[in-house]
Structure 1
Amino acid sequence: MSAFFVYASRKGETPMASFHYSIKSGKKGTARRHSAYIDREGAHSTRDDLIHSSHGNLPAWAGDEPAQFWSMADRHERSNAAAYREHEIALPNELSKDQLIELAERLARSVAGEKPYQYAIHAPAGSIGGIENPHVHLMCSDRVPDGIERTPNRTFARYNSKNPASGGCRKDSGGRSPLDLRQQVSARRKLVADTQNQMLADCGYATRVDHRSLRDQGIKRRAERHLGPRLIKDMAEGEKQQFTDHRASHNAEP
């Protein structure tokens, strides 16, 4: 699990909530397994941090079962192709459960658009300090629906620009240069931050998130160090409390 950093505001400024956004690609053969992980199914059902899960934009052949969609992606997606993209986004812990669900729905609509997706909200207690870290795992397919009914194997076939009905659904990642992809990631980071800030404003909170780096924000301090689960596990309770106290005093500085 990635760290969810708290960026402190300075005196006279709007208080800042945590912001974390990462994108990972899942190769063919891993989509169904990861779907079960985020939905806390099977071997993962003993975890008690699942708040809500949902999905959307599935093709007719998948019915209302995201597991069926990801299973077919694992089977029919082209070799060495990404079966899914996962957007992992920290959510403001100021929000209630219903508000977190509404924010996750807004993020799914903004980030996934018309593409098939599945998401799950987790809220595990932090290893240090015990504060919940709500976040959403949003799995999206790169395949863009075009209104043409296809069988599962045809859905994940190569796109045919001259005769779309004879090929698979177009992938929105296809044909993009590395520069285009970097610019797309930057734009999505801003979109995610803007979506969260609109939700915070709608719910009456003054807290805001900022997708920019500390340097770009004009904050002259180093980003909080990510200790990692192994290091935290080996820390004594006194060391954890000392780290929590230091974090609180550090983030309170102007």
Structure 2
Amino acid sequence: MATFHFQIKSGRKGTASDHASYIARKGFHSKRGDLVYASHGNLPDWTGDDPDVLWRAVDRYDRKNAAAYREAIVALPGELTPKQNEALAVEVVEKLTPGKPYQVAIHAPLSSLEGVSNRHLHLMTCDRMDDGIERPAERFFSRHNATRPEQGGRRKSGGGRNRMQLRDELIAVRKEVADTINRHLELHGHAVRVDHRTLKAQGVARTAERHLGQARIRGMSAEGREQFVSLRHKRKSDAE
């Protein structure tokens, strides 16, 4: 059954290149064997359309305490086929990356508990917004100059907004992603829908399930896993 999961993370300077290798399943990470889709876009000319060049430059030139990248992680519905989920991912990326350099990947590992495909989207973005001005890499990441933009770096998205404005923006993005998922579910004849709201806001009388993590799952016995999965399905059934 489709469930809504949308998470935003950020990474500090010095971690962007390694994390890009992780989502692209390059190098050490290639042994995971669960990469089913990869793409990128909106890259500045000096990258030569190579996202690895972008993230290495982020780690080298961005300001010390800056967020080097943002990452959105979105669960993709198991009701859709791999190709249908790719089309969904393309639309989600278009909505979340206007004017921003990005790299995207879909992973489809088997869940440790139930052995079903856990297809999800990783979207890494650079906050530097396109303004039509070409800059060398070393200036691209410098502080924005509002008076003479060609002499400074690209402006970062999110600047000038307070905490409440950023919260409201995040809620709006979550809703937009959920609406996009639901539109694709409807397009392909599925009645199930996802909801971006909290369980409390939905009027669902159960607590949110905690993420166990790989280490804890590996430490569970076969009987313990079976009991956990059974309880999970019962809670969802009781809430419907």
* Category of TM-score, reference length = shorter chain: over 0.9
Output the amino acid matched with 1:216: A
| Aligned position for 1:73 | 58
Give secondary structure in 2 for the equivalent of 1:252.
helix
Residue 126 of structure 1 and its aligned partner are, at CA, apart by 0.8
Q: Is residue 213 of structure 2 the alignment partner of residue 223 of structure 1?
A: no
Q: Is residue 194 of structure 2 the alignment partner of residue 209 of structure 1?
A: yes
Give secondary structure in 2 for the equivalent of 1:162.
coil
Q: Mapping of 1:189-208 within 5 angstroms?
A: 189-208=174-193
| Aligned position for 1:152 | 137
Give secondary structure in 2 for the equivalent of 1:53.
strand
Between 127-136 and 223-232, report the one with greater CA deviation.
Answer: 223-232
Output the amino acid matched with 1:28: K
Between 224-233 and 214-223, report the one with greater CA deviation.
Answer: 224-233
2:105 to 117, 120, 132: 120
Output the amino acid matched with 1:166: Q
Residue 135 of structure 1 and its aligned partner are, at CA, apart by 0.7
Residue 159 of structure 1 and its aligned partner are, at CA, apart by 0.4
Q: Mapping of 1:3-152 within 5 angstroms?
A: 17-152=2-137
Provide the rounded CA distance (Å) in 2 between the counterparts of 1:35 and 1:204.
35
Provide the rounded CA distance (Å) in 1 between the counterparts of 2:70 and 2:26.
20
Provide the rounded CA distance (Å) in 2 between the counterparts of 1:32 and 1:226.
26
| Aligned position for 1:186 | 171
Provide the rounded CA distance (Å) in 1 between the counterparts of 2:171 and 2:114.
31
2:223 to 238, 242, 250: 238
Output the amino acid matched with 1:217: Q
Provide the rounded CA distance (Å) in 1 between the counterparts of 2:114 and 2:144.
50
CA-to-aligned-CA distance 1:217-240 (integer Å, 9 cap, x gap): 011122223322222111111221
Alignment TM-score, normalising by the size of structure 1: 0.91
Provide the rounded CA distance (Å) in 2 between the counterparts of 1:215 and 1:71.
42
Between 226-235 and 205-214, report the one with greater CA deviation.
Answer: 226-235
Q: Which structure is higher in RCO with an 8 Å CA cutoff and minimum separation 6?
A: 1
| Aligned position for 1:10 | none
Output the amino acid matched with 1:179: M
Which stretches of structure 1, 4 residues or more, deviate above 6 A after TM superposition? Answer: none
Residue 174 of structure 1 and its aligned partner are, at CA, apart by 1.6
Residue 112 of structure 1 and its aligned partner are, at CA, apart by 1.1
Provide the rounded CA distance (Å) in 2 between the counterparts of 1:36 and 1:25.
16
CA RMSD of aligned residues (A): 1.2
Output the amino acid matched with 1:125: L
CA-to-aligned-CA distance 1:13-68 (integer Å, 9 cap, x gap): xxx62111111111111111100000000010100111111001001111221001
CA-to-aligned-CA distance 1:151-187 (integer Å, 9 cap, x gap): 1111111100001111111101222211111111111
| Aligned position for 2:152 | 167
Provide the rounded CA distance (Å) in 2 between the counterparts of 1:104 and 1:193.
12
Provide the rounded CA distance (Å) in 1 between the counterparts of 2:231 and 2:147.
61
Residue 122 of structure 1 and its aligned partner are, at CA, apart by 0.6
Provide the rounded CA distance (Å) in 2 between the counterparts of 1:162 and 1:114.
21
Aligned pairs, how many? Answer: 239
